[in-house]
Structure 1
């Protein structure tokens, strides 16, 4: 398939959302330029092998951003979130995102698609402040822009290295109320909405899309995973005291979830735009169950090999 001449610059290209978006655009015949910090890293080389042009740059080095956006038609914007010992560093995240928008304006880029995080009532407690500043900069940039706000990823069921989420020893631990529907989205669907926005800039200009593909209680979700994988898994709802012990930001989020009722994406309206929008069941059937099973198999093998 031939590629269009002017590329889309994909930031965060070696991460989950950026990587999925780069692959989706390439599959659609769109030229992709991937912003990477290390062009020799395996994830960067995989993008190059898939047909992406690599450009080395860093959000904290603005001069490299001018090089990255030069000649680009559009930008998929996903600056690294900044989270320090005292919580979200909104100013750092905002500075990074706005630097890309400013570079895009100087370069004559046509369009920005920014992906942030879904909103609740008190966005600051969820870490939305920096993302809100980036959204405002995109809206006043004079460029065509689309704002994507995804909820929790379905892929978080295979997360590792976090005190919350993932499935460890048959248990998923999180802040979400066990009996309250939890909205979730497959990462490939975020990429699909980004690709739709780039394909039809006029239709999606100025739109803010809260993205979710399903809403199912954590308990029901773990039951579905049990059925799909054959591994019995269970949900543990973190208490307020446990959340506070993990840090002020975690405790605030625990309370926000119960005060706000969680995210409010309009899933039927999203499915009208993207009919193939994944449910948890369809995600498990296509890719999710196999990934969870492989991870659980590895965990059991590791536990067996370490046993005396």
Structure 2
């Protein structure tokens, strides 16, 4: 049994990893800035040890990582910015090095190592390189686009009116993954350090076109939903970063070897997009 420290434990990827690591029999140390939150209480009830940790407070990181065998590291620029993400990511890696963590599993983004020009991919690549230079045993898992994003935000607003508004052509495939599969794969990697240390893996569970996504969402929600291509210029008025990402999806494409991953790691239980969609409570989501 490993003692696994999990950052972002009350978020999507960290929460999924914490649950999967607990299910695998590991002792999970859930790190969060808000140890008194409902999400933290849920993790406690599942058996996790909840610890306070703040990326901008090195002392809190040192205390939270002391004695841990492994670390699942997740960073985000959203709500702060890429400069903050880089600073915090480097601080986390430095704290892990100080604690002599035996294995760091960093979640990045598929293709972040390919010079995409997408700001929040480039920031993750900076952190990846800092981890590689740290001397720590490392693995980078790099998820494709998140299925979970289709159940929230402006996408959900469009679904309420029967439109899957997405800034890509209807017939262009995109690789996708739900947080649950990221967590399951991360737990697999954490439990098999010798097999995965020193490797970077792009991961995805399925590949679908926007037209197929709309059809699957409509079938799961029990209402007609059609894809509407949103102009990139509109996205750019809200976020240059996201516009750059969708331009990359449309131009270069986010290819990941889905079939190879399913064959090599069947124990992950990879979800198709349709299976993921059918597992959501669309009645509650769409009738809010």
| TM score, norm. by length of structure 2 | 0.92
Secondary structure at the aligned position of 2:118 is classed as helix
Secondary structure at the aligned position of 1:8 is classed as strand
Aligned to 1:55: 51
Change (3 A) 1:137 1:164: farther
Please state how far the C-alpha of 1:55 moved relative to its aligned partner: 0.8
Question: Does residue 187 in structure 1 map to residue 174 in structure 2?
Answer: no
Secondary structure at the aligned position of 1:278 is classed as coil
1:150 equivalent among 143, 156, 163 = 143
Residues 106-155 of structure 1: per-residue CA shift (max 9 Å, x gap): 11210000001112754232521211111112212222211111111112
Q: Tell whether the 8 Å contact from 2:82 to 2:119 is kept in structure 1 after alignment.
A: no
**Segment drifting more, 175-184 vs 108-117:** 175-184
Change (3 A) 1:105 1:244: closer
1:259 equivalent among 247, 251, 267 = 251
Please state how far the C-alpha of 1:240 moved relative to its aligned partner: 3.1
Secondary structure at the aligned position of 1:124 is classed as coil
1:116 equivalent among 108, 111, 120 = 108
Aligned to 1:274: 265
Secondary structure at the aligned position of 2:175 is classed as strand
In 2: Cα distance, 1:230 partner to 1:75 partner: 41
Secondary structure at the aligned position of 2:92 is classed as helix
In 1: Cα distance, 2:239 partner to 2:95 partner: 36
Residues 219-240 of structure 1: per-residue CA shift (max 9 Å, x gap): 1111122223311112221113
2:167 equivalent among 161, 167, 175 = 175
- Structure 2: which 5+ runs fail to align? none
In 2: Cα distance, 1:263 partner to 1:230 partner: 29
Question: Does residue 284 in structure 1 map to residue 277 in structure 2?
Answer: yes
Paired residue total: 285
**Segment drifting more, 237-246 vs 29-38:** 237-246
In 2: Cα distance, 1:246 partner to 1:218 partner: 21
In 2: Cα distance, 1:281 partner to 1:253 partner: 24
Q: Tell whether the 8 Å contact from 1:56 to 1:68 is kept in structure 2 after alignment.
A: yes
Please state how far the C-alpha of 1:213 moved relative to its aligned partner: 0.9
Q: Tell whether the 8 Å contact from 1:59 to 1:79 is kept in structure 2 after alignment.
A: no
Secondary structure at the aligned position of 2:117 is classed as helix
Q: How does 1:98-117 map to 2 (within 5 A)?
A: 98-117=90-109
Please state how far the C-alpha of 1:257 moved relative to its aligned partner: 2.6
Q: Tell whether the 8 Å contact from 1:114 to 1:146 is kept in structure 2 after alignment.
A: yes
Change (3 A) 1:102 1:19: same
**Segment drifting more, 130-139 vs 168-177:** 168-177
Task: Specify which structure has the bigger relative contact order, considering alpha-carbon pairs within 8 angstroms and separated by 6 or more residues.
Answer: 2
**Segment drifting more, 47-56 vs 243-252:** 243-252
State the structure with more CA Rg: 1
In 1: Cα distance, 2:126 partner to 2:271 partner: 30
Please state how far the C-alpha of 1:83 moved relative to its aligned partner: 5.0
Change (3 A) 1:58 1:188: same
- Structure 1: which 5+ runs fail to align? 300-308
Q: How does 1:209-228 map to 2 (within 5 A)?
A: 209-228=201-220
In 1: Cα distance, 2:82 partner to 2:221 partner: 39
- For the aligned residues, what is the CA RMSD? 2.0
Residues 49-99 of structure 1: per-residue CA shift (max 9 Å, x gap): 111111112111111100110000000001232456xxxx32221111111
In 1: Cα distance, 2:230 partner to 2:118 partner: 18
